[in-house]
A and B are shown apart, each in its own frame.
Chain A
Amino acid sequence: MLTTLKILYHQGKQFIPDLTKAKVPGIFRGRPEISFENVDQKALIDVCPTNAILPNPIRIDLGKCTFCGECSRLFPGKIKFTTDYKLSTNERSRLIISEGITEQVSLNPDLIRKEIHKLFRGSLKLRQVSAGGDSSCEMELNACGNVNFDMGRYGIEFVASPRHADGIVITGPVSKNMAEPLQITYDAIPTPKIIILVGTDAISGGIFEGSPAIDRKFIEKNHIDLYVPGNPVHPLTFINGVIDLLGI
């Protein structure tokens, strides 16, 4: 008992007091900013592993970006990654960052379904399905619930059964072999329910785009309530995205 108290004392306070204003330490590749500098457009597009850089004018699609930083390393005057981790949105087109844009990525309030605020604001239970995810986003989602991030303070939690859930959180590009289990899990969640895509792989297929071993039909046919970009997503990106969706 005494040892337990000693350990608790040594740990001190570990939680982040305000998750919406926390700063990430050191360098972090969050929201990119693109300058108007003239560069060899073809060469710039060519450095990207996932065709996330779009031409005329130059834009970056955060739904495809793997945040590898190769473009900013080779074209430091053109592209700079800021430490802004608030990248989540509910409209796919808002993930595309244009030249000269320095505003944060935000949600489109008109697209948030009414029942989301009404039913889930005080308590949101989520079921996570990894569909070809490499376990990096999964580890960061687990971290959302640890004592540092303590997402539970908002009533947001991951649950074991789809029957207890209000929505599904998908990671990974959706492998063909997981397409059916994903659909079955989704069907088992009572309505109304939300879909959150976590990580570049889930949003666009990422580096796996074009692989015959993945099956994106589920993503294409369903309405997506929240896109959370990252490779993997930072816990703060996920938590802030969800609380913005809920209007907390």
Chain B
Amino acid sequence: MNYIIIKNHQSVPVSSIPEMSYQLFFDLNTSLTEDHPDRHCVLYFGYREENSVHLISCIADDFQQNIIVSSSKVSSDDLLNSFSAKNISFERFEREIHENFGINYTDHPWLKPVRYAENRADKSQTINNYPFYNIDSEELHEVGVGPVHAGIIEPGHFRFVCNGEQVLHLEIQLGYQHRGIEQLFIEKDKLIQRITLAESIAGDSVVGHSTAFAYLWESLCGNTPGYETLFSRTLAQELERIAIHTGDLSAICTDVAYQLGSSVFGRLRTPIINFIQEWCGNRLSKGLIRSGNNPFPFTKVLAGRLTKVLDAFEPDFIEMNRELSTLPSTLSRFERTGMLKYEKLLSIGTVGMSARMNALPRDIRTTHPYGLYPELKHEPILKHHGDVYSRVQIRREEVLQSIAYIRYLLNNLPEEGLIEDKILTPRPDSFTLSLTEGWRGEICHAAITDGEGKLITYKVKDPSFHNWLALALAVRNNEISDFPVSNKSFDLSYSGHDL
């Protein structure tokens, strides 16, 4: 067998990942993912090892609930066959490998820069000379938007090719938010620095990313967190899902000029994040998740408060949603807008909510469960139209599902007074992969240590890495005026992509 099979959050010696020739590596990974909707690439990356580049591919098998890891060593000046030519979902991973190490591919569709990373191989590539796709025609025009947008959001550049009001093509150029996080994970060697970095990857997915780091670190150090820690993490993840989904519903209403929905959902988010602050001192859960300890144990008093908050939240949330889904003026903007078919979602490797909007059941809580999710027996919510309305419905139903999970958790409180505080030391020569399901979708962190247990590689993949292409394809043939609501209904992360 020329690959190794691991579970989510499992550490293995680096040497146990078999190395093979690039041709075998290519055959293995492209055949594993061929005609297998239950398998997709969660991470494919390279790292430098002396004069060569070590490539590691991680294919998640949702059916078997494990991850297939394989590797190959190549050189920077090699000319390789690209996985993307056979399976387009590898497209951005290969562009990243090309950008970071200068590896060239014979048949990749277009090796465009991904994020203009600080440690890119070719420094002559700068963010101002991005090679946009353009169509030469007197009947068409281009619309450029950004990097600085009209609202209070992160920067990114959108270039539309339009025929009148109709969008023929949208290209999304990212990289403006690049802060060099993966490199900082290696350089800043205090644990508190690393968890702070994890919390800063994407401010709307603080719990998603910080739990991915925490589980990874604990696995790397051979530690298993106790029930009270798992409880806090699971609860925090579901609270984050409720808060962000509700805020997104507000923003979606704003984008179709529905003032009442915008105000009501906007204010409904407040008690949820205020409760998070009551619990941990920060409205967006920064400081709540720590590796090796659980600094804010969940108490009976907090449970009583949260029950009250949810009891007040739920009827208002349901009432507002009922109104939103009966208004012809909102439905006409939501239905059949920003649609993507199942086959398309599958081929580009979409994950999370953006996959579930059209029957692709990608949800780490079910397929690679962790924390208390095995106990919750989570079933993903699936929709079947792939339009803005499907994404609205998913949010509505996932919020109600999360409330039900939280109610279950509140009936199974951990014992009070247990305080875990462990000093953790990472094991040498190890590889760990950690997957969590943030509100947006699958978050993946991976780490490799050297002979002394020091980090030599840290990789982070936000679900937005897969899903930005889904947005670009979803707006084709839409009116350009529908772009804001399509964009918001995906709500992808710029900083999570650009790191």
- Interface residues of A, Cβ cutoff 8 Å to B: 3-4, 6-8, 10-11, 14, 24-29, 46-50, 66-70, 73, 81, 128-143, 146-148, 158, 160-161, 172-173, 175-178, 180-181, 185, 201, 206-208, 210-214, 231-232, 234
Closest residue on chain A to residue B495 by CB atoms: A134
In chain B between 118 and 177, which residues have their CB closer than 8 angstroms to a CB of chain A? 118, 127-128, 147-148, 150-155, 175-177
Which of A185, A211, A212 lies at the interface centre, i.e. has the most chain B CB atoms within 10 A of its CB? Answer: A211
Q: Report the Cα distance A175→B174, complex, angstroms.
A: 13
Please determine whether A69 and B278 come into contact, CB atoms closer than 8 angstroms. no
Q: Report the Cα distance A134→B204, complex, angstroms.
A: 8
Closest residue on chain B to residue A73 by CB atoms: B295
Please determine whether B277 and A135 come into contact, CB atoms closer than 8 angstroms. no
Please determine whether B277 and A136 come into contact, CB atoms closer than 8 angstroms. no
Report chain B residues within 8 Å CB of A50.
Answer: 193, 196
Q: Report the Cα distance A175→B482, complex, angstroms.
A: 30
In chain B between 78 and 135, which residues have their CB closer than 8 angstroms to a CB of chain A? 116-118, 127-128
User: What's the minimum C-beta distance from B178 to chain A, rounded to whole angstroms?
Assistant: 5
Please determine whether B179 and A132 come into contact, CB atoms closer than 8 angstroms. yes
Cβ contact of B277, chosen from A4, A25, A133, cutoff 8 A: A25
Whether B76 sits at the interface, judged by CB under 8 Å, is no
Report chain A residues within 8 Å CB of B277.
Answer: 24-28
Closest residue on chain A to residue B115 by CB atoms: A177
Cβ contact of B203, chosen from A138, A148, A207, A213, cutoff 8 A: A138
Whether B266 sits at the interface, judged by CB under 8 Å, is yes
**Given the known A-B contacts A68-B192, A128-B152, are A134 and B279 also in contact in the complex, defined by CB atoms under 8 Å?**
no
Report chain B residues within 8 Å CB of A25.
Answer: 274-275, 277-278
Closest residue on chain A to residue B326 by CB atoms: A3
Please determine whether A135 and B184 come into contact, CB atoms closer than 8 angstroms. no
Report chain A residues within 8 Å CB of B281.
Answer: 26-29, 67, 69, 81
Since A6-B319, A25-B278, A28-B281 are in contact, a sample of 6 more A-B pairs with Cβ atoms closer than 8 Å, ordered by chain A residue number, is A29-B281, A134-B203, A135-B202, A140-B283, A207-B196, A211-B180
Please determine whether A7 and B323 come into contact, CB atoms closer than 8 angstroms. yes
Whether B52 sits at the interface, judged by CB under 8 Å, is no
Whether B66 sits at the interface, judged by CB under 8 Å, is no
**Given the known A-B contacts A67-B287, A181-B155, A232-B284, are A134 and B202 also in contact in the complex, defined by CB atoms under 8 Å?**
yes
Whether B224 sits at the interface, judged by CB under 8 Å, is no
**Given the known A-B contacts A68-B286, A136-B204, A177-B176, are A26 and B279 also in contact in the complex, defined by CB atoms under 8 Å?**
yes
Report chain A residues within 8 Å CB of B128.
Answer: 180
Whether B206 sits at the interface, judged by CB under 8 Å, is yes
Whether B68 sits at the interface, judged by CB under 8 Å, is no
Please determine whether A231 and B286 come into contact, CB atoms closer than 8 angstroms. yes
Please determine whether A147 and B263 come into contact, CB atoms closer than 8 angstroms. yes
Whether B494 sits at the interface, judged by CB under 8 Å, is yes
Q: Report the Cα distance A124→B270, complex, angstroms.
A: 25
Cβ contact of A132, chosen from B177, B316, B319, cutoff 8 A: B177
Q: Report the Cα distance A8→B264, complex, angstroms.
A: 9
Q: Report the Cα distance A232→B196, complex, angstroms.
A: 12
Please determine whether B286 and A7 come into contact, CB atoms closer than 8 angstroms. no
Residue count of chain B within 8 Å CB distance of chain A: 63
**Given the known A-B contacts A130-B155, A138-B152, A147-B267, are A181 and B147 also in contact in the complex, defined by CB atoms under 8 Å?**
yes
Please determine whether A132 and B192 come into contact, CB atoms closer than 8 angstroms. no
User: What's the minimum C-beta distance from A239 to chain B, rounded to whole angstroms?
Assistant: 14
Report chain B residues within 8 Å CB of A131.
Answer: 155
**Given the known A-B contacts A134-B495, A178-B147, are A208 and B179 also in contact in the complex, defined by CB atoms under 8 Å?**
yes
Q: Report the Cα distance A66→B141, complex, angstroms.
A: 46
Whether B260 sits at the interface, judged by CB under 8 Å, is yes
Q: Report the Cα distance A152→B251, complex, angstroms.
A: 18
Please determine whether B203 and A178 come into contact, CB atoms closer than 8 angstroms. no
User: What's the minimum C-beta distance from A219 to chain B, rounded to whole angstroms?
Assistant: 15
User: What's the minimum C-beta distance from A174 to chain B, rounded to whole angstroms?
Assistant: 9
Which of B116, B117, B148 lies at the interface centre, i.e. has the most chain A CB atoms within 10 A of its CB? Answer: B148
Report chain B residues within 8 Å CB of A138.
Answer: 152-154, 203
In chain B between 172 and 221, which residues have their CB closer than 8 angstroms to a CB of chain A? 175-180, 183-184, 187-188, 190, 192-193, 196-197, 200-204, 206
Q: Report the Cα distance A178→B175, complex, angstroms.
A: 9
**Given the known A-B contacts A134-B200, A207-B197, are A177 and B178 also in contact in the complex, defined by CB atoms under 8 Å?**
yes
Q: Report the Cα distance A148→B178, complex, angstroms.
A: 33
Show 11 residue pairs from A and B whose CB-CB distance is below 8 angstroms, ordered by the A residue. Answer: A7-B320, A10-B316, A26-B275, A68-B287, A138-B152, A146-B263, A147-B266, A175-B179, A178-B177, A213-B118, A214-B179
User: What's the minimum C-beta distance from B219 to chain A, rounded to whole angstroms?
Assistant: 22
User: What's the minimum C-beta distance from A13 to chain B, rounded to whole angstroms?
Assistant: 11
Please determine whether B127 and A135 come into contact, CB atoms closer than 8 angstroms. no
Cβ contact of A207, chosen from B118, B127, B188, B260, cutoff 8 A: B188
Please determine whether B287 and A69 come into contact, CB atoms closer than 8 angstroms. yes
Q: Report the Cα distance A173→B284, complex, angstroms.
A: 19
Report chain A residues within 8 Å CB of B283.
Answer: 140, 232, 234
Which of B175, B281, B284 lies at the interface centre, i.e. has the most chain A CB atoms within 10 A of its CB? Answer: B281
User: What's the minimum C-beta distance from B320 to chain A, rounded to whole angstroms?
Assistant: 6
User: What's the minimum C-beta distance from B114 to chain A, rounded to whole angstroms?
Assistant: 12
Q: Report the Cα distance A6→B375, complex, angstroms.
A: 39
Report chain B residues within 8 Å CB of A140.
Answer: 283-284
Cβ contact of A137, chosen from B150, B179, B203, cutoff 8 A: B203
Please determine whether B176 and A181 come into contact, CB atoms closer than 8 angstroms. yes
Closest residue on chain B to residue A208 by CB atoms: B179
Please determine whether A211 and B287 come into contact, CB atoms closer than 8 angstroms. no
Please determine whether A181 and B148 come into contact, CB atoms closer than 8 angstroms. yes
Q: Report the Cα distance A158→B152, complex, angstroms.
A: 8
Closest residue on chain A to residue B209 by CB atoms: A134
Please determine whether A3 and B323 come into contact, CB atoms closer than 8 angstroms. yes
Please determine whether B200 and A160 come into contact, CB atoms closer than 8 angstroms. no
**Given the known A-B contacts A134-B202, A207-B184, A212-B180, are A27 and B278 also in contact in the complex, defined by CB atoms under 8 Å?**
yes
Cβ contact of B295, chosen from A69, A185, A207, cutoff 8 A: A69
User: What's the minimum C-beta distance from B377 to chain A, rounded to whole angstroms?
Assistant: 32
User: What's the minimum C-beta distance from B235 to chain A, rounded to whole angstroms?
Assistant: 15
**Given the known A-B contacts A158-B152, A177-B177, A178-B155, are A136 and B286 also in contact in the complex, defined by CB atoms under 8 Å?**
yes
Report chain A residues within 8 Å CB of B438.
Answer: none
Please determine whether B495 and A132 come into contact, CB atoms closer than 8 angstroms. yes
Report chain A residues within 8 Å CB of B275.
Answer: 25-26
Please determine whether A232 and B203 come into contact, CB atoms closer than 8 angstroms. yes
Closest residue on chain B to residue A69 by CB atoms: B287
Q: Report the Cα distance A175→B498, complex, angstroms.
A: 10
Please determine whether A139 and B284 come into contact, CB atoms closer than 8 angstroms. yes
Please determine whether A49 and B193 come into contact, CB atoms closer than 8 angstroms. yes
Q: Report the Cα distance A68→B194, complex, angstroms.
A: 12
Please determine whether B192 and A161 come into contact, CB atoms closer than 8 angstroms. no
Cβ contact of A14, chosen from B147, B267, B286, cutoff 8 A: B267
Q: Report the Cα distance A212→B151, complex, angstroms.
A: 28
Whether B367 sits at the interface, judged by CB under 8 Å, is no
Please determine whether A160 and B151 come into contact, CB atoms closer than 8 angstroms. yes
